[in-house]
Amino acid sequence: MNAVITGASKGIGKAIAERLAKEGFNVAICARNADTLAATQAEIQKINPQVQVLALSVDMEKKEDVLAFAHTINDNFSTIDILVNNAGIYVPGTIYQEDDGLLEKLMAVNVYSAYYLTRALLPTMIAQQKGHIFNLCSTASHKAYPNGGSYSITKHALLGFSKNLREELKNLQIKVTSVSPGPTLTASWEGFDGPPTRLMPPEDIASVIWSAYQLAPQTVMEDVVLRPMLGDL
């Protein structure tokens, strides 16, 4: 069994990669920081020495890097059971005040990277007539909020991508699930001065993905929204 997880050197992506390796999946992971990625690769390998951990430094803002990552995956994995499009950048701000070019940057990382990687890996899933694609959206994908800016725009777009993909792939027996977490204990919330229990642990997101994957072949969990017990911040 093989899984691909983007943005997996820390946070939610790392938790997902660790969980899937624990369950016996070979994993292909990527992130931009090579040193952090190497450390994560070693940690995952320690969790399950029997699985292959393929780790590549990738700048998800660059189409050529994303396609090179896909090429390496296709060279190393004969099947792809799970694809988790998790890579993303969170930058708060208002549309009329944020830096020029931010929308283009966030669209490239948060949306286009998922689009390019999915298209590159889908032929394998189509040939095997199975597979499960998870797109890490956000509660910001479902409801606009003050200070959402370009980030919220791109997360709405990623949810739209997921919904279209679901309709296109259902007759090919390929599942698509959008996962929309609210505030989660990741680097995006560094500096948060509230109690850690106010944020969800990334391991919970990984558990939800594993549960969705384990459903019967005729059942698909289309959309999952997760929030802290006390609601969004």
Rg, the chain, Cα only: 17
Q: Give the DSSP per-residue string, 63-103.
A: HHHHHHHHHHHHHH-S---EEEE---------TTTSPTTHH
Angle at 10 between CA 6 and CA 12, to 5 degrees: 70
**From the candidates 90, 112, 145, 151, which is the catalytic residue?**
151
Residue pair 25/49 in contact by the 8 Å Cβ criterion = no
**Residue 7 CB coordination number (10 Å):** 27
Q: Is 151 designated active site?
A: yes
Residues classed as catalytic? 151
